[in-house]
Structure 1
Amino acid sequence: MSPSMRPSTRPPTLIAVGHGSRDPRARATLALLLDRVRELRPGLDVRLAHIELNAPLLDDTLAGLTREGGRDAVLVPLLFGRGYHVKHDLPAAAAAAPALRTRIAAPLGPHPLLVEALADRLAEAGWTPADSASRSAAVVLAAAGSRDAESTADIRRTAALLGERLGGVPVVAAYASAATPTVPEALRALAARGRHRIAVASCFTAPGLFASRTAAHAPWIAAAPLGAHPALARLVLHRYDRSRTAPHTAHHRELASA
């Protein structure tokens, strides 16, 4: 077998795909997250791409990898549920780069590592064990929102897992757009149940319009976006590794969110 015909032993390129944001802090934040991923897996080719609004766009990243002679890539969505971008935009981009063997990993949520990062960001904002024991405390888990029922189910599952981690505190999933309840609606519903010490947890990877808008509604504390949290970096690699070990089909999608 000639060298050009031998299967490549180089691991697939990890392409982390963010949504994109007009906030200049967003791209820098994702770059820091990927620096953590590279520290955890030295030698792995890790690249950033965006669905819209920021360079590099996913199509351009895939085209560049093709020009460099790359053969394999795993797209890891920096998103938290199985919404339109994961089900449609990523497969369409993969199909437009037929020279690459492309796998699409599951989104970041739900998963215990995501919950670890969410809980840590809440603690950094001021949440304490005493709040977990308080009958007046609660959390709103703020996410972008989607019209896709599976995506909102993923966020609700993440909210339930976060509630368990916090010792049974009520955690209500709420959305910045496209789904209900909104963050103000969730806050009012919790207040009606006697929960007046309400924190807002940020189910966003980076600063941006939705993260800022939802935090502004917080009546008490608001956690920062997850950013370069170490658990999120480990989760990116977990999704990458899981996708690699799944049976391969053309533009393979690993959308199970366990």
Structure 2
Amino acid sequence: MTAHPTNRTGPTNRTSHPTGRTGTPPARPALVLVAHGSRDPRALGTVRALLDRVRDLRPALPVHLGHVELNEPLLPAALAALGGTDAVLVPLLVGRGHHVKRDIPEMAAAAPVRARVAAPLGPHPLLVETLYARLVEAGWRTPADEAERRASAVVLAAAGSRDPDSAADTRRTARLLAERLGVPVTPAYASAAAPTVRAAVRALAARGRHRIAVASCFTAPGRFAAECARAAPRLVAKPLGAHPAMARLILHRYDQACEAGGARDAA
């Protein structure tokens, strides 16, 4: 799916087709954003708004949506509807886990099109930019002095996974966010991993960190995001949602996957 080398020997500097004919370069693959899916009706609306932002940034690029479960269209149906067009699948997930490493590649391999799977959205500075913006929207402010800084901390709430790579990605995102905020950031999880958000809040409070905010490392509203929000002592950020930095991050992962070695070929 990479572009063919430019023919620099001819006077018109045209690009060769795979058939040997000359003419316009082959079209870039479609972008298929792969969301997890949720029973919360707000999740689908949020993902569609994010797709609209991606389309606004790159109007000529075909952008489609597929879900791992719970919502239509499911990813196999979305890929089957492409009509033979190559695709790059960008997981709307913030770290490596079972869906990114097994489920999505298996669906891509079984599809009737040539599909590649891009890296998940995190860890990445654009993800941290979104987390920071959501915290500020929720009321977070930079500590005014050293005493306030020593009393402040953030809990980074994520879905959780038994896969150690997923936990490593969340810890890396927490470190990047801590560098941005200048206060400690503790990863916590809604399921399958420890600590929980509630336990992380208690541990921070026991160390004198009473000015605690919860950053929501969820792409859209849903059960896990709501459970983590209820465990927040006072200030809790909204999920990542359709923030402009998220749209830029999706296109960055797409572009990486279009480059040689930037993604696994599932065909």
Q: TM-score, normalised by structure 1?
A: 0.91
Query: 1:174 Cα deviation (Å)?
Result: 0.5
Q: Which blocks of at least 5 consecutive residues in structure 1 are unaligned?
A: 254-258
Mark the CA change 1:2 to 1:149 in structure 2 (over 3 Å): closer, same or farther.
closer
> What residue number does 2:239 align with?
225
Q: CA–CA distance in 2 between the matches of 1:250 and 1:146?
A: 22
* Separation in 2, partners of 1:196, 1:92: 45
Deviation readout 1:208-245 (Å, 9 max, x if unpaired): 00001101111010000111000010000000000100
Question: Which of 96, 101, 104 does residue 117 from structure 2 map onto?
Answer: 104
Partner Cα separation in structure 2 for residue 199 and residue 132 of structure 1: 17
Distance 2:77 2:145 in 1: 46
Counterparts in 2 of 1:239-254, with a 5 A limit? 239-247=253-261, 251-252=265-266
Q: Is the 8 A contact 2:38 2:70 kept in 1?
A: yes
Q: The residue matched to 1:174 in structure 2 has which SS?
A: strand
Q: CA deviation at 1:35?
A: 0.4
**Measured at CA, do residues 126 and 204 of structure 1 come closer, stay the same or move farther in structure 2, by a change above 3 Å?**
same
Whether the 8 Å contact between 1:94 and 1:251 is mirrored in structure 2 is no
Q: 1:33 aligns with which of 50, 53, 60?
A: 50
- Alpha-carbon distance in 1 for matches of 2:50, 2:25: 27
Residue 138 (structure 2) aligned to one of 104, 122, 125: 125
Other-structure match for 1:144: 159
Q: Is the 8 A contact 1:17 1:50 kept in 2?
A: yes
**Which residue does 1:155 correspond to in 2?**
170
Q: What amino acid does structure 2 have at the position aligned with 1:75?
A: L
Q: Contact 2:80–2:113 at 8 Å: present in 1 too? A: no
Match of 1:164 in 2: 179
Q: Structure 1 counterpart of 2:159, which letter?
A: A
Q: Quick check: 1:62 aligned with 2:76?
A: no
Task: State the 1:70 CA deviation.
Answer: 2.8
Residues 1:214 and 2:228 aligned together:
yes
Distance 2:27 2:264 in 1: 19
* Structure 1 residue 185 corresponds to structure 2 residue 202: no
Higher relative contact order (CA 8 A, sep 6+): 1
Calculate the aligned-residue CA RMSD, in Å.
Answer: 2.2
Structure 2: which 5+ runs fail to align? 1-17
- Name the amino acid aligned to 1:190: L
Percent identical: 64
Partners of 2:117 and 2:263 within 8 A in 1: no
SS at match of 2:90: strand
Q: Which has the larger radius of gyration?
A: 2
Tell me the number of residue pairs that the alignment of Structure 1 and Structure 2 aligns: 248
CA distance in 2, matches of 1:244, 1:100: 15
2:13 is aligned to: none
TM-score after normalising by structure 2 = 0.88
Secondary structure of residue in 1 paired with 2:253: helix
Post-superposition CA distance 1:20-56 (Å, at most 9, x none): 1000000000000010000111111101111000011
Report matched runs for 1:88-103 at 5 Å.
88-97=102-111, 99-103=112-116
